[in-house]
Homo-oligomer: A and B are copies of this chain.
Amino acid sequence: MAGKNYYDVTDWNTGNPYEDIGEVINSIIADIKCRQSEADVEEGGKPGAVIYIPSGDYHLRTQVVIDISYLKIMGSGHGFVSSSIRYNLPESEWADLHEVWPGGSRILVEISAKDTGEEAAGAAFYVERNGNPRISSVEFENFCIDGLHFTDDGSGVENPENTYTNGKTGIYVASAQDSFRLTGMGIVYLEHGVTIYHADALSVHDNFIAECGNCLELRGWGQASKITDNLMGAGYKGYSIYAQNFGGLLIGSNNIFPRGKSSIHFDNVARSSITGNRFHSFYPGMLVFEGNCSENLVSSNHFLRDNEPWAPMLEYNNGLNDLYGLLCISGNYNSIIANHISESIHGQSIHPAGEKPVIIHLTSGMGNYISSNHIVATTEASSEQTEASDSCFSAQVDALTMTDQRVPLEVIAVLVEKESIQNTVLDTGMDSQVIMDKSANAFRATPGIGE
């Protein structure tokens, strides 16, 4: 049935998948390598295999180590539930919960880097192989990786489940790889959801990666990849999407919700695209271009920043103040075109008090092109009562949709520092809202009423 290259973790001869699915999968991988030992037999020989994880709760006490190409690991459900909401309920309410834990084809990660100090040691799935070719076409599809708990991070917060720290990683790819796919996954309550070094032609598509310290980190360097159509949102001190030394990355059609220290953080990324996304954040610094980030396109995105509406998270933020910029850009020849940017915050939340928040901040570089962006800044009318709520969902929807009693808030639409020169700013703010050396940059103000 389905030949020998189809494995079901519940039907394997070694280990107990419910007690340690890591042992089972490693044993299956050993079997594949044993059976597929010849690389070139009639122009084939190592086609890989699929490992199926049916719906169920599977503890993982041994790290899965992947060093073969064409391995597909697939389940039957991404199984997300909000663990953050649960951990902020009074424990007395737990007995009434329909379900307590995430589900689907669910891996319970019981290992942690905390024991060794090495981040990779805390990864449920660890991929590494040297030599040629690069490991290729490993696919992860439609299962859940759950880190279970966050733990005390030394900050002394009352509820350690809110620390977004536990030394656990869902998937860690340590060596250069080609044409990997992550699709339909659910990844929750891990300090690092997915960490990938040296990606080429990677596809991270249609996943649910939330309530992780960091969601997706592309480290080292890489090229020609796509992060599309995901629902994501990291904790208050981590990255939702981070990329380093990357070229040709396409980030499109994602819905990135709070919190996340940032929505997207680029470090020396070039010739990449951020288009058609919806971003929502509770802090400044939603989009950060650090170092030499050049020739990137930021287009047709919706940025919204408002205030934290949920009581248990009120004490957290990312430590940046409102002068940092909602978008903070370092680098050359980037394009920021046709975006909508809403900043809708309480007057008393602005830091430093009395200052105008900065929306687009160019800190260094040259030749950036900023055109046709609509910046909407509002605050509550003086008579309005705004307060955080104990109910995460209704609080968030109310905060999102109650737009009718707002009044304009004065902001700096674009701030260009002296270190950033020869930029072009068009139709993105009134003359008074754009602060820069207008003799050293090109500028056309958005026309005013009746002008």
Q: Are A57 and B72 neighbours in the complex by a CB distance under 8 Å? A: no
Query: CB distance A271 to B229 under 8 Å?
Result: no
Contact of A224 with B255 in the complex, beta carbons under 8 Å: yes
Q: Does A85 contact B (CB under 8 A)?
A: yes
Considering only residues 38-56 of chain A, those with a C-beta below 8 Å from chain B are 39-40, 42-50, 52, 54-56
Hey, which chain B residues are within 8 Å of A297, CB to CB? 300-302, 339-340, 374
Is the CB–CB distance between B137 and A103 below 8 Å?
yes
Within A166-205, the residues touching B (CB, 8 Å) are: 176, 178-179, 181, 183-184, 186, 200-201, 203, 205
Question: How far apart are A22's CB and chain B's nearest CB, in angstroms?
Answer: 16
What are 21 A-B interface contacts by the 8 Å CB criterion? A2-B10, A2-B52, A3-B11, A47-B77, A50-B55, A50-B76, A69-B98, A70-B77, A80-B201, A221-B401, A224-B257, A225-B255, A271-B280, A273-B301, A297-B340, A333-B342, A337-B338, A372-B372, A439-B450, A442-B446, A442-B451
Contacts of A181 in B (CB 8 A): 78, 184
Docked-complex contact B335 and A374, CB < 8 angstroms: yes
- 9-residue interface stretch from A111-119, A154-162, A244-252, A315-323: A244-252
Q: Across the A-B interface, give the 5 residue pairs with the lowest CB-CB distance, nearest first.
A: A247-B400, A44-B57, A70-B103, A50-B76, A297-B340
> Given A80-B178, A253-B276, 7 other A-B contacts at CB below 8 A?
A46-B98, A82-B136, A85-B133, A103-B136, A205-B229, A273-B340, A424-B447
The reply on A260 being an interface residue by CB < 8 A is no
**Bound-complex Cα distance A71 to B104 (A):** 7
Copies in the complex: 3
Distance of A297 Cα from B301 Cα, bound (Å): 8
Residue with the highest number of chain B CB atoms closer than 10 Å, among A52, A70, A225: A70
The reply to whether A45 and B101 contact each other, CB–CB distance below 8 Å, is yes
Q: In the complex, how many angstroms separate the beta carbon of A98 from the nearest chain B beta carbon?
A: 6
- Residue A20 at the chain B interface, CB threshold 8 Å: no
Set of chain B residues within 8 Å of A245, measured between Cβ atoms: 397, 401
- Cβ of A441 within 8 Å of any chain B Cβ, yes or no, is yes
A442 / chain B contacts, CB cutoff of 8 Å? 446-451
